[in-house]
Structure 1
Amino acid sequence: MTEAQLDFYKRLAHALALQFGSGCEVVVHDLEAADPSHSIVAIENGHVTGRKLGDGPSHVVLEALHAGEERLEDRLAYLTKTADGKILKSSTVFIRDDHGRTVGIFAVNYDITILRAMGDTIAEVVGTGPSAPREPEPIVRSVADLLDDLIEQSVQLVGTPVALMTKEEKVRAIRYLNDTGAFLITKSGPKVCKYFGISKYTLYNYLDEARAADEQDERE
């Protein structure tokens, strides 16, 4: 991001935070940062998620770093969840340069925990039955927590305990980790190897198979 872009988005973040109060966190990620594990370059009301300047990326940021330009689309008004249980209404807007290349992310996370609880109470009083809630996406405080969360999601996706996984199931889990940008996190390889009980060499082979499967899906 250029200095002019960073200055503008810092001022915009400050304005929105003042406009909507202390429950509104506004974050600016620099996707051109030398170390993607420290992508936050501006943040207002960081107490909402417990993050601060220099902290690491969210799931959305990792996916943005991993995905191609043609796949990037703004995500508006979706639910997220913090480690301490807050429910947030979030929007993620990709910042692009004059050539259309994605260089940053502008994100708004509004704490709707109390409002949501009030809404559930009202619905229970006036409604005939509770509706199925949408599952919010987690917001983690550190890249270590994020990697742990992604690994857990990969196991849930496969639906088999690691100790009972076949090779094909492990490849599927590794493919999910690759697609979500997990391997952009520093020292993620050794942790994934230890968790799945595989060697570094095996991990590379599984990654090759996962990427080949991705390419096949794209051709189809």
Structure 2
Amino acid sequence: MSDADDGRAGGFDGSGLRAGNAAGRRAKSAAAAGEQDAIIAALTPVIDGIAATLGSFCEVVIHDFRRPEHSIVALAGSVTGRGPGGSMSEIGMQLLARGDQARDELNYLTRTQDGKMVKSSTMLLRDSGGTVFGALCVNLDITAVNQVHALIGGIAGVSASPAAVPTTTFGDDIGAVLDAIVDERQLRQNKPWTQLGRAERLQLFRDLDRRGVFAVRGAVQQVAARLGISRASAYTYLSAARTSADDDTGLPDGTP
């Protein structure tokens, strides 16, 4: 028997090493998934207690970032009108896009499309390896509190102009959230797509990418439809936006 044959018999050839490495990666991935599932399972009964303690104006949500289209796996209370199986908001998409570099977002204000003022904190869920896989979110409807504050300030003569609060789309349909992000970004351009220069179009796709839009399955097709361009053009702009931070190389004249 040759040395090469002896090596194969002992299971030490290149293919054996590759198979062993692949099996090891699968086992590690399965262990991480099991740990992540256990963390979510342990938190699920806790959110009912948090919501009950803070009252009827509180909503507590557990998001699983591994399924962004239907990230809500548990929910207690009702502020944003979503339910289990619902989607994440723009804030969640931004955190998803940042991956393991994301940080907790605490005590921020948003306004829902139906006019509610919401104070929120989003606390990331990490496994023992530091991988971000979800979030625990607390949303408080402070609309009435804000109105009372403005009333008292007006009576006391110390009212101030309210700070602008961004409007956030909350919904069970991830498509509605994506459309709202694209529409808001286009409004800031103050031009329709056909009037944007190539650099402006690239910047639009960079912004959408940084906000986590393209982490959602099927988002490229949906963004293309919203902008009125072909799916191929959308992929071209996204690829160029990710590979070039400062110019619009790779985009031929006339790209729709």
Q: Give 1:114's aligned residue.
A: 144
For residues 128-157 of structure 1, the C-alpha deviation after alignment (integer angstroms, 9 at most, x for no partner) is 452242313414212121011110122133
For residues 71-91 of structure 1, the C-alpha deviation after alignment (integer angstroms, 9 at most, x for no partner) is x11111101222321111100
Q: TM-score normalized by structure 1? A: 0.87
What's the secondary structure of 2:114's corresponding residue? coil
User: CA contact under 8 A between 1:25 and 1:43: conserved in structure 2?
Assistant: yes
Q: Give 1:201's aligned residue.
A: 232
Provide the C-alpha distance between the structure 2 equivalents of 1:212 and 1:6, rounded to a whole number of angstroms.
36
State yes or no: 1:15 paired with 2:49.
yes
1:181 to 186, 194, 212: 212
Provide the C-alpha distance between the structure 1 equivalents of 2:169 and 2:230, rounded to a whole number of angstroms.
30
Q: Give 1:58's aligned residue.
A: 89
User: CA contact under 8 A between 2:169 and 2:180: conserved in structure 1?
Assistant: no
Q: Give 1:37's aligned residue.
A: 69
1:201–1:7 CA distance, 2 compared to 1 (3 A): closer
1:128–1:20 CA distance, 2 compared to 1 (3 A): closer
Provide the C-alpha distance between the structure 1 equivalents of 2:222 and 2:36, rounded to a whole number of angstroms.
35
Q: Give 2:122's aligned residue.
A: 92
Over the matched positions of the two proteins, sequence identity in percent amounts to 32
Q: Give 1:48's aligned residue.
A: 79
1:135–1:171 CA distance, 2 compared to 1 (3 A): same
For residues 65-118 of structure 1, the C-alpha deviation after alignment (integer angstroms, 9 at most, x for no partner) is 222322x11111101222321111100000111111112100000010100011
Deviates more, 1:14-23 or 1:158-167: 158-167
Q: Report the alpha carbon displacement of residue 173 of structure 1 after superposing the two structures with TM.
A: 1.1
Provide the C-alpha distance between the structure 2 equivalents of 1:85 and 1:182, rounded to a whole number of angstroms.
24
State yes or no: 1:166 paired with 2:200.
no
- The root-mean-square deviation of aligned C-alpha atoms, in Å, is 2.0
Provide the C-alpha distance between the structure 2 equivalents of 1:215 and 1:66, rounded to a whole number of angstroms.
20
Gaps of 5+ in 2: 1-34, 248-256
State yes or no: 1:154 paired with 2:185.
yes
User: CA contact under 8 A between 1:74 and 1:92: conserved in structure 2?
Assistant: yes
1:160–1:215 CA distance, 2 compared to 1 (3 A): closer
Gaps of 5+ in 1: none
Q: Give 2:164's aligned residue.
A: 134
Provide the C-alpha distance between the structure 2 equivalents of 1:109 and 1:168, rounded to a whole number of angstroms.
38
Count of matched residue positions in the alignment of Structure 1 and Structure 2: 212
Read off the aligned partner of 1:16 and give its amino acid letter: I
For residues 162-211 of structure 1, the C-alpha deviation after alignment (integer angstroms, 9 at most, x for no partner) is 34222221211111111111123333222322332322222222112211
Provide the C-alpha distance between the structure 1 equivalents of 2:184 and 2:169, rounded to a whole number of angstroms.
14
Read off the aligned partner of 2:68 and give its amino acid letter: P
User: CA contact under 8 A between 1:87 and 1:136: conserved in structure 2?
Assistant: no
User: CA contact under 8 A between 1:80 and 1:139: conserved in structure 2?
Assistant: no
1:210 to 241, 245, 255: 241
What's the secondary structure of 2:82's corresponding residue? coil
User: CA contact under 8 A between 2:68 and 2:216: conserved in structure 1?
Assistant: yes
Q: Give 1:78's aligned residue.
A: 108
